[in-house]
């Protein structure tokens, strides 16, 4: 598999932290006070320890998040974790950490909130009279299979509940850890209740390590697609985000390799840089790819009406302008050529049932 290589600086400077997406920890946009650095005349770098991941209990009393976004294909999701240790520098979810009082920078990948009652809360909400089932998405905001899942197993506990209720689920992840749960997913898939999408941003391991420091390598993600497909689990690929001038040349190769591995569907989105993410990503570019930074930022602005971000529905995922249109055409042609544009059976919500509740009781609960 030949891969287009991007020369990423291995030593990106003293303010970067090995194994983390960013060394910056800017104040969030809701903070009343802001700290600013200044030169004090002493030219030395402080020897600080690498920040460790801190787990914080999330005392949320509900687990199903709902949205009414007209450009999303789902309206309910479950996120067992807030913050993500994968540390992807481009992650659109980083600014959401500001709502928790944390920085979208280093805090986002080192201060992870987890929901220990996720399974119990989900069972309670699914059992409510009048609950109307639809596809619940895991991974709509932060990755359900980030490293801490190996020990906490919250995502698996959520899947166990969904299986008992015959509730359809879609998963989005960039972790090979999803194959741990192929036993549950394969049983659900037989009944049209489960589908997985692996996110692959690049096939270049060096670029992936710089952009997504604690996520699975591209090769491991392709292997996960293969293993899920062999287990009879419908699996697709998300070639996302496409970053103009950085990984966009790889789009067709990503789709081709995913199709070879067993992916039968594909999606793509253009890079989004909401709120604090614009400054974080710009800093990362200037440190790791200084010779490309200006060009990449220029192309992003060309695809976002002169800005680094566009929050408008229907254009926020695809971008606007000639460059974005060209990317859209390339994607459409590639998925058509690879047979990944075929309409697939939708996940079946009609099988939903509350364990222990008879059909008669279900009917009565509607009144």
For the segment 326-337, what is each residue's pLDDT rounded down to a tens digit?
Answer: 999 999 999 999
Q: Is pLDDT at 216 greater than 90 in this prediction?
A: yes
- Candidates 3.20.20.80, 3.40.50.40, 3.40.190.10, 3.20.20.70; correct CATH number of 54-295? 3.20.20.70
Q: Which element (helix H / strand E) includes 207?
A: helix 205-211
- In the chain, domain spans: 54-295
**What average pLDDT score do residues 34-52 get?**
51
Tell me the DSSP string of 264-327.
-EEEEEE----TTHHHHHHHHHHHH-TTTHHHHHHHHHHTTTTSS----TTTTTT--HHHHHHH
- Strand segments, DSSP code E, in the chain are 54-57, 64-66, 76-78, 81-82, 111-114, 136-138, 169-173, 194-199, 235-242, 265-270
Q: Which residues pair with 265 in a beta bridge?
A: 236
Digit-coded pLDDT (tens) for 47-94: 446 789 999 999 889 999 998 888 888 889 999 999 999 999 999 999
Percentage, residues of the chain above pLDDT 90: 77
Write down the pTM of the prediction.
Answer: 0.89
Q: State yes or no: cis peptide before 247, omega within 30 of 0.
A: no
Longest dimension (CA), the chain: 78
């Amino acid at each position: 598999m030949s891969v287009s290589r991007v020369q990423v600086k291995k030593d990106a400077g003293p303010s970067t932290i090995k194994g983390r997406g960013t060394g910056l920890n800017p104040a969030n946009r809701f903070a009343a006070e802001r700290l600013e650095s200044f030169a004090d005349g002493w030219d030395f770098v402080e020897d600080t320890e690498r920040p460790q991941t801190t787990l914080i209990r999330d005392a949320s009393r509900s687990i199903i998040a709902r949205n009414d976004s007209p450009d999303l294909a789902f309206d309910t999701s479950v996120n067992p974790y807030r913050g993500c240790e994968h540390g992807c520098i481009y992650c659109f979810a980083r600014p959401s950490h500001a709502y928790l009082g944390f920085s979208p920078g280093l805090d986002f990948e080192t201060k992870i909130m987890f929901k220990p009652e996720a399974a119990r809360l989900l069972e309670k909400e699914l059992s409510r009279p009048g609950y109307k089932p639809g596809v619940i998405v895991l991974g709509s905001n932060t990755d359900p299979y980030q490293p801490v899942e190996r020990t906490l197993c919250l995502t698996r506990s959520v899947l166990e509940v969904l299986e008992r209720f015959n509730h359809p689920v879609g998963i989005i992840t960039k972790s090979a850890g999803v194959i741990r749960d192929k036993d549950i997913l394969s049983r659900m898939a037989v009944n049209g209740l489960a589908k997985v999408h692996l996110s692959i941003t690049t096939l270049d391991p060096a670029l992936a390590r710089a952009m997504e420091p604690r996520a699975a390598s591209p090769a491991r993600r392709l292997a996960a697609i293969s293993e899920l497909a062999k287990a009879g689990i419908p699996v697709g690929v998300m070639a996302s985000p496409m970053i103009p001038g950085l990984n966009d040349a790889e789009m067709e190769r990503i789709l081709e390799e995913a199709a070879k591995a067993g992916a039968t569907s594909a999606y793509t989105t253009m890079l989004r840089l909401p709120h604090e993410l614009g400054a974080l990503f710009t800093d990362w570019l200037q440190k790791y790819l200084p010779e490309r930074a200006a060009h990449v930022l220029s192309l992003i602005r060309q695809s976002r009406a002169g800005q680094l971000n566009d929050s408008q529905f229907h254009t926020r995922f695809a971008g606007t302008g000639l460059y974005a249109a060209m990317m859209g055409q390339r994607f459409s042609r590639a998925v058509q050529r690879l047979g990944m544009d075929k309409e697939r059976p939708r996940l079946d919500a009609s099988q939903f049932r509350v364990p222990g509740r008879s059909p008669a009781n279900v009917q009565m609960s509607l009144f």
